């Protein structure tokens, strides 16, 4: 065995140190990549949402949105809005009213998001508006929808 000359140690090859350094650098680069991926791809906990409660003149806000609801009612009475559009507009108006009155971003929430908020009147009204807004035939009673929207706006505290 000692006289076998078929195997030569790595130090005897040309540029052995260069290959050794390149291999170590490659291993360090792979390790750094794994550290980077683990560090920057883990999910972060969302920051708690602190609802800002703006100081608003609730009387003026009620008057503003009552006037907008009256506009929707007048547009339906004149034939400019269909039954489905009435329900959609009222849903949107109530969402924006809730946003301006409470600071909760109701205008961008889905119905399931609204259910998780502390806005039960708005949620109930929007739930009532959903089926008529998306039904093709005989969507619902626009007059009842307008009454419901007025009730929510005027009873807000």
pLDDT digit string, tens, across residues 98-140: 999 888 888 888 888 889 988 899 999 988 888 776 777 666 7
Looking at every residue in the chain, the average pLDDT score rounds to: 84
pLDDT of residue 91: 92
CA distance 85 to 76: 9
pLDDT of residue 53: 59
pLDDT in tens, 47-77: 665 555 557 788 999 999 999 999 999 999 9
Report which of residues 8 and 23 the model is more confident about.
Answer: 23
pLDDT of residue 102: 86
pLDDT of residue 44: 67
For 54-63, the CB contacts below 8 A with 24+ separation are: 54/100, 54/103, 56/100, 56/101, 58/101, 58/156, 61/97, 61/100, 61/101, 62/153, 62/154, 62/156
pLDDT of residue 118: 86
Confidence of residue 142 (pLDDT cuts 50, 70, 90): confident
How far CA 105 is from CA of 1, 11, 19, 89, 148, in Å, comes to 81, 69, 60, 17, 21
Of 51, 57, 66, 53, nearest to 155 by C-alpha is: 66
Report which of residues 42 and 82 the model is more confident about.
Answer: 82
pLDDT of 28 strictly over 90: yes
This prediction has a pTM of 0.63
């Amino acid at each position: 065995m000692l006289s076998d000359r078929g195997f030569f140690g790595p130090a005897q090859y040309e540029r052995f140190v260069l290959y050794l350094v390149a291999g170590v650098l490659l291993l360090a680069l792979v390790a750094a990549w794994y550290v980077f991926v683990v560090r920057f791809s883990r999910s972060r906990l969302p920051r708690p949402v602190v609802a800002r409660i703006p100081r608003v003149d609730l009387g003026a806000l009620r008057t503003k949105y009552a006037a907008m609801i009256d506009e929707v009612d007048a547009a339906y009475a004149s034939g400019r809005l269909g039954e489905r559009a009435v329900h959609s507009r009222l849903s949107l108006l109530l969402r924006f009213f809730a946003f301006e009155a409470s600071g909760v971003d109701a205008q961008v929430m889905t119905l399931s998001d609204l259910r998780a908020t502390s806005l039960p009147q708005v949620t109930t009204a929007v739930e009532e508006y959903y089926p008529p807004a998306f039904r093709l035939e005989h969507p619902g009673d626009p007059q009842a929808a307008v009454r419901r929207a007025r009730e929510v706006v005027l009873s807000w505290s």
